[in-house]
Amino acid sequence: MSAELAPRRATGEPVWLRRSLLIAALAFLVVFLVLPLAVIFQQAFGSGVGAYLRALGAPEARAALALSLLVAAIVVPLNTVFGVAAAWAVGKFSFRGKAVLVTLFDLPFAVSPVVAGLLFVLLFGRDGLLAPLAAAGGIHVLFALPGIILATLFVTVPFVARELIPLMQAQGREEEEAARMLGASGWRTFRHVTLPNVRWALLYGVVLTAARALGEFGAVSVVSGHIRGETTTLPLEVEMLHAEFRGQEAFAVASLLTLVAVASLVAKHVLERRSPRPPGVARGGPA
Amino acid sequence: MIASATARRRRPPVLPGLPLSLGLASAWLGLIVVVPLAGLLVAGLRVPAAQLVQALADGRARAALALSFGAAGLAAFVNVVFGTLLAWVLVRYRFPGRRLADALVDLPFALPTAVAGIALTALYGPHGWLGAPLGALGLKVAYTRLGIVIALVFVGLPFVVRTVQPVLADLDPELEEAAASLGAGRLRVATAVIAPEVAPAVLTGFTLAFARALGEYGSVIFIAGNLPGRTEIVPLLIVIRLESYDYAGAAALGLVMLAVSLLLLGALNALQRWSQRRAQPAEAGRGA
């Protein structure tokens, strides 16, 4: 059945061609993926471990880390809850306007992060639609925490829903209907039937949301105002250090974000082994 | 079949929760996505049409638009070539480190764009691992348009690999064997049998990589040099317009970018329907 077991015989390329294709692909991989990854740690540790730790211990870096963690702590639960709700509706039911709902959930992926930030500047900036509302409530949205949270919510809306929807559609509703026939309540059915079936995809969606919430740059950059120690998230701190020609410190802070990224790659690898994707359902990644 | 028929006869209690989950999801989308988009439209409508046109027609905006579309198209094309090659190698060949290589493909998707930006700048800068030897050859990458394309190739790579890879993996080897046994050479099998099967996925990958590259900001601005009219991309120009409180100019460019995003999203949906239609007969045949 599988291509691996079938002898290659007539359908393989000649050895010289296989070798050239392999070398070309791996060379591309090294230049475009391995070297950029390696250069981050080389630059971060280039002046020794002491300098690395000093850069991470700097008050601005610690404030940026605290802000990024706070933003993620607010954004991740919200987008998880609403993503699960969307997946339940889209994955288990059919209703009018379903395609529109799915497209809207995908939309933030297609929109430039800068445009995402622009949306909130236009909404809450001078003459903005919601500016009077925010002013009446005495809330500063732009150049403050609420703006950063809104921009981050926008760019991370798709992740959980996207991981869950194809899986829940593929699983259908027979198991849930069986649970209902046996007398389980709706909530119990969801907790004990649906959730266990999708838990790894859900976990991966949460990991992706968290990684993006910590690492979002463009959208946050537009709304943050770059106030050092106040509205500077980790990626913005990286940018500011870099602009001040404090390269080693910039890369030290960047290495934290790189570790988060690598952890999300490992998570994908592990979760993929736990729950093989159903046929035709692309897992993870961008698509 | 039998099970589902019985289930239908007994009329199982309907699953609850549609109004609640749909209500929550719609309200959330409305709040976080739809209202902000409406804000952009309103802001755009408030600006007199002549001013909108002027904001797009000035030399700096036109140069930025040409650069963004050109560089994104070029990068997406490079991604198609090398992404398809990578997908082929990862699916068809067995070599040490294959799993690691496979996992690494997602790196550009996972790595925050600002981090990618400074890493690429260090790599291709005048003293970088690649910048120094390339500079000795007379090829300047950092702070040029070439640098922009390289950054966009980086961010777009996973899109092509991850759309082509599953299609190649699901390709029926019997098709190739049949073609080969009928006397087709390897090149002919590749162009006449394999290429048509993966074409929709390649196109989808191109569109995804292009869409991502067009809106990309973080990984580009560090390596780009950001010279107005030469190495200034549209997202950066939007930021600059906003910083100088030219909301009309920013909104005009933002509307163009949003319209293109919507068009590309529509194209992706159409591509998906097309490849599903093509896949269905094959799937049915396999299931039987």
Average of per-residue pLDDT values in chain A: 90
Give the pLDDT of residue B13.
Answer: 59
**What CA–CA distance (Å, rounded) separates B203 from B201?**
5
Domain boundaries, chain A: 13-45, 49-274
R_g of chain A computed on alpha carbons: 23
A28 touches chain B (CB under 8 A): yes
With an 8 Å Cβ cutoff, are B110 and A264 in contact? yes
Architecture of domain B51-277: Orthogonal Bundle (1.10)
R_g of chain B computed on alpha carbons: 24
Distance from CA of B141 to the nearest CA of A (A): 14
pLDDT tens, per residue, chain B with 288 residues: 445 555 455 555 578 889 999 999 999 999 999 999 999 999 888 889 898 899 999 999 999 999 999 999 999 999 999 999 999 999 999 999 999 999 999 999 999 999 999 999 999 999 999 999 999 999 999 999 999 999 999 999 999 999 999 999 998 888 888 888 888 888 888 888 888 889 999 999 999 999 999 999 999 999 998 999 899 999 999 999 999 999 999 999 999 999 999 999 999 989 988 888 876 655 444 433
Give the pLDDT of residue B178.
Answer: 86
Relative orientation angle of helices A59-92 and A158-171, to the nearest 10 degrees: 30
Question: Which of B20, B39, B214 lies nearest to residue A128, judging by beta carbons?
Answer: B39
Domain boundaries, chain B: 51-277
Q: What confidence tens digit (pLDDT) does each residue in A220-258 have?
A: 999 998 899 899 999 999 999 999 999 999 999 999 999
Give the pLDDT of residue B172.
Answer: 83
What is the ipTM metric for this complex? 0.91
Question: Which of A3, A174, A286 lies nearest to residue B7, judging by beta carbons?
Answer: A174
Architecture of domain A49-274: Orthogonal Bundle (1.10)
pTM of full prediction above 0.80: yes
Contact B152, B72 (CB under 8 A): yes
Ordered DSSP codes for B175-244: HHHHHHHTT--HHHHIIIIIHHHHHHHHHHHHHHHHHHHHH--HHHHHHH---TTTS--HHHHHHHHHHT
Distance from CA of A127 to the nearest CA of B (A): 9
> Which helix (H) or strand (E) is A179 found in, with range?
helix A174-181
